[in-house]
Structures are given as structure tokens and as C-alpha cells.
Structure 1
């Protein structure tokens, strides 16, 4: 099969399109013929091995060379074969999921617990836009943020992959939603259901006097004390990421926010979608919302499989409105 293989850290052209053996599913795995995948910051952080501090961590990308040879955290496709312990899937089923690796190939082995039936009203491309980004938004709002109907929620970074899902999910959960984004995306965020949209180039939301029960911090554009200014006394800041950097960021931003929260009444929590062990149930929750029409993936650009390096280069610029998907 064809796959993009990462043999050493580097820019997008470090990925080598080559022929490798088609994987064989383990007892608890499903072999998926990948029809679409997506690119996102998770992929290019692993591709570059950045921030460098992450290489020292036990579950990091690898100290000197990548632990993951085939990147690609999202897949949508058709089941080709199943392991002997797998129930609930059979060859021919249309599925989507978040294997965390392997999507940049024609075939991927995915643990059955990381897959769910593809939403019937989505194409493969649309389905591939959902898993990691929408799961991050779901865990940030529902689990880390404990959002409740009637609460005021601010989404900082509302026009990106996670943010476009977060605005829709917060509305689906009954919250009053404020989205923060750049000028060119104001109308997009408003169209997703935001009750208010703050243009970050014209206004600093941390100094306008408004207070929120929950801030979902995707952009990482402010330090911890600034977020606490906009939270109610018992509010929560759920941190997804932070500014990109070669040595420490966004890890430093996240750790600093968590450390300083110990001295104030507001909660600061980290959203960890990669460590979640209940993805199938969460994917089914997303599917219900998608098929009910309350959640729709926003796709910025589409690329053919051979142009995955170009897709990553575009994603790395940080200007995508919604998701960047790849047809395999």
C-alpha cells in the first residue's frame, strides 16, 4: 500500500510517499481502507518533534527519531477485515474514528474501541473532519468544563478546527456562546450559532468587563491571569492548547495555567483527548448530534492524498477556517 512515512523530524517534505506492507489487524483491531483523513496541529507537532521538551516525556514523540512512522490521527473509510475478538464491525461497514496514527496511508489498523459507524448524512471527507477536533471540543465542554444549560461560554479560537465544533456543541448543550476570532471569520462563527462574536483584532475580550462561566481556551492567546479576569468566581478555564514554539510552547502555556490555578477559586483544567479511553461512546454522541442536524463539520480546504505535505504546510500556517481534509 502507499503511505507517507516519517523517518526523521522535519518540515512537511520530510514525509516520504512510499510503498509499505499492508498492516494485519491484531485481535482487537479493524483494518480500514482509508477513504479520507485530515491534517491538524497534532500531526505537525509530531512531524517536527516540537516542542522539544515533549521529546523528554514518557509518552512523547521520541527523543532522537519519531516513534510514529505513519501520522494521521483521523480516518474515515470502509472495513476490510476484523480481528478475531472484534464484534460490531464486519467487512463493508462504513466507519470513522481517531486512531491517533496511521491515517496518512491507504490502509490503517484501528482498535475497535476507537471506531464508530460513519454518520449516514456525511461524506467520507466530512466524516474525516470530525474525530479529533470534535472529540476535543466535546471533552472540553462536557467533561472538563461541565457545561450546563444557561451558562455563558466563551470559545477563544472559535474559527479553527476545534473551535467551529465547540461553538456548535456549546449551543447544543444550551449555553449562551461568545466566539473569539479574527475579522475574516466573524460571519462564519456567527453562522455557527454564536450569540456574540468578538473580533480579536479590534477588541481584547479579557478587558471588556464581561464574565463567563466557562472559557474554552484553544488559541492560548493570553496568560492565566487574563482568563481569570473574565471568569465568574466559580468559573472554569478549559485549556486545549497554546501558542506554537520550538522549545517549550505550547506545553509551557498549559503547565503555567495549571500551576497558577492552585491559588485562586476558579478552576483551570487540561483537555486531554489523546488520553481518552472512551472514544467509541463519544463518537456515537457526536454522530447523534450530526444526524440530528445540530453539528456540521466546517471544511476549509480539500487536498488529494499525494498532496498531504502541502496540506500540512497550509495547516501549519495557522489560518485555516475549520478543518483541512485529504481524500485518499
Structure 2
């Protein structure tokens, strides 16, 4: 299996490279933005045509949610145009494209959990540009899997876990948003899910065709940012990563204004991916058992 990974230095991309390197009979071409600018159609075509991957995994994205509100052109270039060029290139050589998307395609005002068929209604530039990327990929590539995820964290890059551990060293008390709910998702588990799907595509060939489309993958149990933070601190104290946990006070979204609106409800239904591929929802609490690796 030949796999092209874009965004290889990001949270998920780094995990993909590590895990695929341990897979037998797998050839990897891992590129970051310095090695392949996915917003350049000619560069994408050249790289794909030369390497001829069986699978392209697009882990590249403009994920700075607040900056996206002013960096509109950049957001669309990376989140819509780049995926479109990858999808077109994949279609031209008969490759499959696995593309990572986000809970931000939803408004976040639904009661209960979001399934893949629920109405999309992004509330900001980031979500709107990611939704445009989804549509572009599905229209351009007949062998595409969209994996929507949420609240990503891991040992690499900037994320909520690292921020909380850093703030806990500086403050005795923290106010954390308690009225936004979702499923924290470990980057390593996202990578593993994508590799499982990639292997199924290669093994099944044409018989996989009816399984292309959109899937949700995120963590359980669902929690709030406040609950997520408290769990991080409790585990950090247990593991002696922190001497003591700061006091966590729940605050409302309106008490912590941001340029971009966040979904109040990011709870994703992961039943479809479990039924189709046997991939279980991310156990995010287990993924916090080695917090020393996040420092």
C-alpha cells in the first residue's frame, strides 16, 4: 500500500506517520506545507502523479478558528481548494482520498447527538470553509471518505490538554467554559481509524465502493470543556505530572468571548463508523494516561 500524507507535521499527521511506519508492505510519502503546498494545483498534480499513491490522507487544514474570521482567503485556500485539488488528482489516478473534517460544520444548537445525515449549518469562516472542502471532495472524487472529528488533542502541536497543563503550573484557579459539550478525540486514535479504513479500501477493492462517504469519529463519554479540564488535572496529579490541581470554576460562553462562535453542542454520533468498520469511539480518558508525554 502506498500512502501520501499531507499535513504530516500536525497532530494527526505525526501520528499517521508513526503508525504507518510500523505497517508492513506500506510505502509512505509524508509531506508538510514546506514540501507540498496543497493550495497549488500544479504542485499537487505533480506529487500525486509521480508517487502514484493508492491512498491519500489529507491531514492538512487551517484550524485557527478565531484567525479564520479575518484570514478568510487563506482558510478557503487550505480548507476548500487544497482538498479539491487532492480529490481531483486522486480521481485521475484511481486513488482513494481520506479527508479530515470537523464538528464545526454544524450549528451546535441541536438537542442530542449529531449524525452524518443531520443538516449542516456552520456559524463561522472555519466551519464554512471546511464544509466547502467536504462538498468539493465528494463532488470531485468517487473514492472519498470524510472523517468528521472534534476537540482533537495529542502529544504534538498546540491543543487543550497542553494549554491546561501549562496554565495549571501558573494559576491556582481557572475559569473554564461549562456550557459547550462534545467528545474529546485523541489524535492517535484518529490516525488508527484512518489506517483501518485505508486498509479496508485496499483489501476490498471495488467491493468497498458503497462504503465511501461521511463518517463521524470522536470521543466518549461526552463532556464539557470544564469537565475535560477537571479530568486532565485529576489524572495529572495521579501521574505526578502536577503537584496539585488548580480549582476549576465553570463559566458560560458569554463570559469568555471569542471572535468566532463555538458550537454549544459538538456531540457526534459514532455508530455508523462502528457498524461499518468496527471502529469504536475514542476512549479519551485512556488517552490521558501518559500525560508526561504532553509536556
Q: Same fold (TM over 0.5)?
A: no
Larger relative helix fraction: 2
TM-score scaled by structure 1? 0.31
TM-score scaled by structure 2? 0.34
